[in-house]
Copies of this chain bind each other. A is one copy, B any other.
Amino acid sequence: MPRLRLALAQLNPVVGDLVGNADRIVDAARRARDAGAELLATPEMALSGYPIEDLAAQPSFLRDASAAVPTLAARLQAEGLGDLAVVVGHPDGPHDPRATGARNAPTAIAQNCASVLGGGEVIGRYVKHHLPNYGVFDEYRVFIPENELLVVEVAGCRVAVLICEDIWLDDGPVARVADTDAELLLVVNASPFERDKDEVRLPLATRRAREAGIPLAYVNLVGGQDDLVFDGDSFVVAPDGAVLARAAQFEEDLLLVDLELPVRAAPDSRRDRSPQPASSPPSARSPQEDADHDREQIWSALVLGLRDYVEKNRFGSVVLGLSGGIDSSVCAAIAADAIGADRVYGVSMPSRWSSAGSRSDADDLAERIGLHYEVEPIADLVQPFEDQLGLTGVAAENVQARARGVILMAKSNQAGHLVLTTGNKTELAVGYSTIYGDSAGGFAPIKDVPKTLVWEIARWRNAAAEARGETPPIPENSITKPPSAELRPDQTDQDTLPPYEVLDEILDRYITRRLGREDIVAEGFDAVTVDFVAGLVDRAEWKRRQGAIGPKISGMAFGRDRRLPITVHRTP
């Protein structure tokens, strides 16, 4: 019975960096060959990074990317790695857009391919069949699908290759794979993290392995790319649901597994058996363990998203304002976990309305984390604006927030810091922020984290520190005190907004679940509050459009996930 040593390279490529990504693949190939592997699989678009967006409509980029594939094959051969079969994801083109759904498109576009390299040659090529075109995905815009299967022989084993979305459809190509002589189904992916997605992918892949009647190897990208975080979590699952191997989540990994092939089951023969994976399924955890797992995944995604934005864009450091509140405290803790406290610069910018408690909470945070810390009072900066312009009310409040934005941007100009903006998803949803003020910055670490969840991940992070015998990074007082923007005396968020527990429930329905106002009221919420909140959300779209990007962790993040007009009149 043939034995196949398979390596799954959970890589973290940089979009556009064809040379650097080829180096990453060659390095993985060398490690895989040194470990005795016969087949190395890399993720979807490992050679170009993903998503390449409209780079797929630049003929010169596509020519370079296409040429890089045979070049990589020849290089692997030249470096003595020609005996290893390498599956590499890449874009191919340019192709004529008239062949596609985007038939009137003005320029050439691409195909989303997985090529098999071996012996210095490209020995097989698969083109993705099914193109996701919802949520954050725009694949109909830039890719041409095909409909051909690929089964290649590697070390005496027959391997079928599919790409990502191909296995998400019930009437996708898996059934056709079952009709071939393939002994292993290899799926290469660029599947971004969302809460609970790990609990969807493995059962789905298990079902497909059962349908195909052969083991399924799933290799995913890892790393942050703008607003997406790829979480890796690659695995190999047998048709009976046994998880044969599983890679780390949120870090690069090279997963090795020996397969005695065929592990063939008649397709669908186990349909009556429970498809429980061997790894601990959600139901095996207590509710508290489930919650901790959720918080840990979110925290890891936020850390990886920020780290890769900083490193891939070559920032040396980050700077953020520290108010003593929960949002900036959590962002500082994420930043320290991402790039180390010695690369994090915190600035306390008290105004005449800042409480002594806020200042001491910010001091406490800075000391707990060990970040660089400065205090820049804003009173003397704000007063000239108030005097010259005669400002009162909201105009005066906003000038305070904008003076802080100017300070942070000036420090960025002076020292090259990336400015972090610390707004949470609830704030973005209802527009509870000052544009060009506290919203100023290049990256927004918690923009997809609702306020109630900010508190939860703060508590989780502190508990995790305690469990390791470390100092909890976030001051308890920042978690427990009533939230306030402190732009006027004795202000709290709840002067203006419904309680966050209610607000986040309404926002989840209006934004994530896309319910209408009447539908939300029918679920038991107060009609006046629902109208008020929905109106705030609609009117804040112009601010969100000008907001910094930040990592998506939910099923519906602001940004390309949710595309709504600024100018809109909603009939009540």
Q: Enumerate chain A interface residues (CB-CB to B < 8 A).
A: 14-20, 49, 51-55, 57-61, 64, 97, 101-107, 130-135, 138, 140-141, 165, 168-169, 225-226, 308-309, 312-313, 376, 380-381, 384-385, 388-389, 391, 393-395, 398-399, 402-403, 405-407, 409-411, 413-414, 435-436, 440, 442, 514-519, 542, 545-549, 555, 562-571
B52 touches A565 (CB 8 A): yes
Interfacial chain B residues near A569, Cβ < 8 Å:
14-17, 20, 312
Q: How far is the CB of A227 from chain B (nearest CB, A)?
A: 9
Across the interface, do B133 and A565 meet the contact criterion of CB distance under 8 Å? no
**CB neighbours of A388 from chain B (8 A):** 376, 380-381
Bound Cα distance A174, B83 (Å): 55
Give A518 to B58 CA distance when docked, in angstroms: 12
| Known interface pairs A376-B388, A389-B411; A226-B566 also in contact (CB < 8 Å) | yes
Tell me the bound Cα distance from A3 to B144 in angstroms: 47
Rounded to whole angstroms, the CA-CA distance of A225 and B564 in the bound complex is 12
User: What residues of B have a CB within 8 angstroms of the CB of A61 in the complex?
Assistant: 516
Check A516 against B59 for contact (C-beta < 8 Å). yes
Please measure, in the bound complex, the distance between the C-alpha atom of A394 and the C-alpha atom of B565, giving whole angstroms: 36
Q: Are A51 and B140 also in contact (CB < 8 A) when A407-B389, A542-B442 are?
A: no
A-B contact pairs, 28 of them (CB 8 A): A15-B567, A16-B565, A16-B569, A20-B569, A52-B565, A53-B563, A54-B514, A55-B565, A58-B514, A102-B132, A104-B134, A104-B168, A105-B133, A138-B563, A313-B566, A313-B567, A381-B385, A381-B388, A385-B406, A385-B410, A398-B410, A398-B413, A402-B402, A402-B409, A403-B406, A435-B440, A545-B549, A549-B566
Q: B568 to A405, Cβ gap below 8 A?
A: no
Contacts of A105 in B (CB 8 A): 133-135
Q: A101 contacts B131, CB within 8 Å?
A: yes
Q: In the complex, what distance in Å separates the CA atom of A16 from the CA atom of B54?
A: 29
CB–CB A564/B54 < 8 A:
yes
Further pairs besides A104-B130, A380-B388: 13, Cβ < 8 Å: A15-B568, A19-B571, A53-B563, A60-B515, A101-B101, A104-B132, A105-B134, A134-B141, A381-B385, A389-B411, A402-B405, A409-B436, A546-B546
Residues of B within 8 A of A20 (CB): 569, 571
Q: A313: which B residues are within 8 A, CB to CB?
A: 566-567
B571 touching A18, Cβ below 8 Å:
yes
| A-B CB proximity, top 10 nearest | A60-B516, A105-B134, A395-B413, A17-B569, A16-B568, A436-B436, A140-B140, A53-B563, A102-B134, A58-B514
A225 contact set on B, CB distance < 8 A: 565, 567
Q: Which one of B14, B405, B546, B563 lies within 8 Å of A548 (CB-CB)? A: B546
CB–CB A102/B389 < 8 A: no
Residues of B within 8 A of A376 (CB): 388-389
**Cβ-neighbour of A133 out of B16, B102, B566 (below 8 A):** B102
Which of B54, B515, B549 is A562 in contact with, Cβ under 8 Å?
B54
Q: How far is the CB of A504 from chain B (nearest CB, A)?
A: 20
Q: How far is the CA of A381 from the CA of B391 in the complex (A)?
A: 14
- Give CA–CA (A133, B104) in the complex, Å: 8
Chain B, Cβ-Cβ closest to A104: B168
Q: Are B519 and A60 in contact (CB under 8 A)?
A: yes
How far is the CB of A154 from the nearest CB of chain B, in Å?
A: 30
- Evaluate whether A101 and B140 lie within 8 angstroms (CB atoms) in the complex, with A402-B409, A565-B226, A569-B312 already known: yes
Closest to A389 in B: B410
A174 → chain B closest CB, angstroms = 14
> CB-CB < 8 A to A391: which residues of B?
410, 413-414
Expressed in whole angstroms, the Cα–Cα distance for A309 and B541 within the complex equals 14
Are B384's CB and A381's CB within 8 A? yes
| CB nearest to A542 among chain B residues | B442
A19 to B572, CA, bound (A): 10
A16: B residues at CB distance < 8 A: 565, 568-571
In the complex, which residues of chain B have a beta carbon less than 8 angstroms from the beta carbon of A14? 567-569
Inter-chain CA distance A568–B313, complex, in Å, is 8
Q: Which of B168, B411, B519, B547 is in CB contact (< 8 Å) with A546?
A: B547
Residue of chain B at shortest CB distance from A538: B16
Across-interface contacts of A17 in B (CB, < 8 A): 568-571
Residues of B within 8 A of A101 (CB): 101, 131, 133, 140
Smallest distance from the beta carbon of A536 to chain B beta carbons, Å?
Answer: 15
A391: min CB distance to chain B, Å: 6
A440 to chain B: which residues have CB within 8 Å? Answer: 435-436
- Taking the nearest CB of chain B, how far is it from the CB of A98, in angstroms? 9
